[in-house]
Amino acid sequence: MRVVMMGTGTFAEPTLEALLSRPGRVVGVVTQPDREAGVRSGSTRQTGRGIKEIARAAGIPVIQPQNVNAPDGVAGLRDLKPELLVVAAYGQILSPEVLSVPPLGGINVHASLLPKYRGAAPVAWAIWKGETRTGVTIIRMSAGLDAGDMLAQESLEIGPEETAGELESRLAPLGAKLALETVDRLAAGPVQGTKQDLSQVTKAPKLKKEMGLIDWSRPADEICRHVRAMQPFPTAYAYYHHGDQPPMRVIVAKARGYLIPGGPRTYPEPGTCLPSSDVLLVSVGRRGPAGETVAIVELQPAGKRRMAASEFLRGHPVQEGDHFGPESASIKSM
């Protein structure tokens, strides 16, 4: 079977390497154009060895169309004469014309337990929404977004402090295993898929930078999940209002729920900074036990390196009225 792999970034790389374990099967690779500094077009995905480098080391032709659905992209794909497309985090929605090029169409390696979390950012949304398990589903590609019949699925647990980037790195080899098994089955003959339950469909749209802004009125567990879900992109952030200084944009890299022993005497406004020497305590919206706050453990002030909260506090000891929030936020004093 002649297979063309389409993918970009660290999630796709293990799938390509798995397919290459079947000599002569992969006849071409399609990946996003390289992104140069200051240029908006091209891939922004995290890379390990790099899809292009893996393919070229194996002597596999690589094409990088700006738009695979444009006539030149379709023509380049036709030149490879694929029987099947294997797609993993490619970064472009494929047109019916592209999917019609190979006689067997395409299969997609999707990082969720479909029908949950259809869309571009399934790993982040699973964490953000508080799922305890996720996984990988192999689907037969169709006109609808992640709507095709399911050919294989396997799950794993989400770690209690796992970020989206860390979870994706564990899902990638699982996806590679399932993709290889599915291609082997398709090479042996027709494979019957399972329809998705439309009543269980949820969406996982592309993350935007503004989604990283922390809402301190949420409960502590939701805020901590948000911080984890935003790593490595677009990152969770807030503006630190400290004394009479201008608001400082701060990336919150690591945070945990923290319970003040005995609970507070009063409940400060969400976002208020509370005195502490080694972690940066921030009041939140109430839902959990009395005294629950968020402890910022690691952060990165604008223009500086990532650091422990204890180091940050040595240069910015908490004063009355200090708080986190939007850039123009004001808050009642403690």
Q: For 226-255, what is each residue's pLDDT tens digit?
A: 999 999 999 999 999 998 899 999 999 999
Q: What is the pTM of this model?
A: 0.92
Domain 3-200 has CATH 3.40.190.80: no
Q: β-pairing, 106-110 with 84-88? A: parallel
pLDDT of residue 286: 80
User: Cβ contacts of residue 153 below 8 Å, gap of 6+?
Assistant: 113, 114, 135, 136, 137, 138, 178
pLDDT at 143: 87
Region of 151 please: left (phi>0), alpha (psi -120 to 50) or beta: alpha
The reply to whether CATH 3.10.25.10 applies to domain 209-325 is yes
Q: Helices marked H in the chain — which ranges?
A: 13-19, 51-57, 71-79, 96-99, 122-128, 164-188, 220-229, 309-315
Q: What average pLDDT values come out for the chain (334 residues) when binned by 10 residues?
A: 96 98 97 68 59 96 97 97 98 95 98 98 98 98 94 98 97 98 97 97 97 96 97 97 93 94 75 84 83 93 95 91 84 40
Beta bridge partners of 251: 237, 300
Q: Which residues of 258-297 are buried (b: 16+ CB within 10 A; e: fewer)?
A: bebeeeeeeebbbbbbbebeebbbbbbbeeeeeebbbbbb
Give the model confidence (pLDDT) of 47-75 as tens digits.
Answer: 668 999 999 999 999 999 999 999 999 99
The pLDDT, as a whole number, for residue 332 is 44
Taking a C-beta distance cutoff of 8 angstroms, is the pair 212, 292 a contact? no
pLDDT value, residue 275: 79
Output the pLDDT for position 334. 31
Q: Is 170 helix (H, G, I), strand (E, B) or coil?
A: helix
Which residue ranges make up each domain of the chain?
Answer: 3-200, 209-325
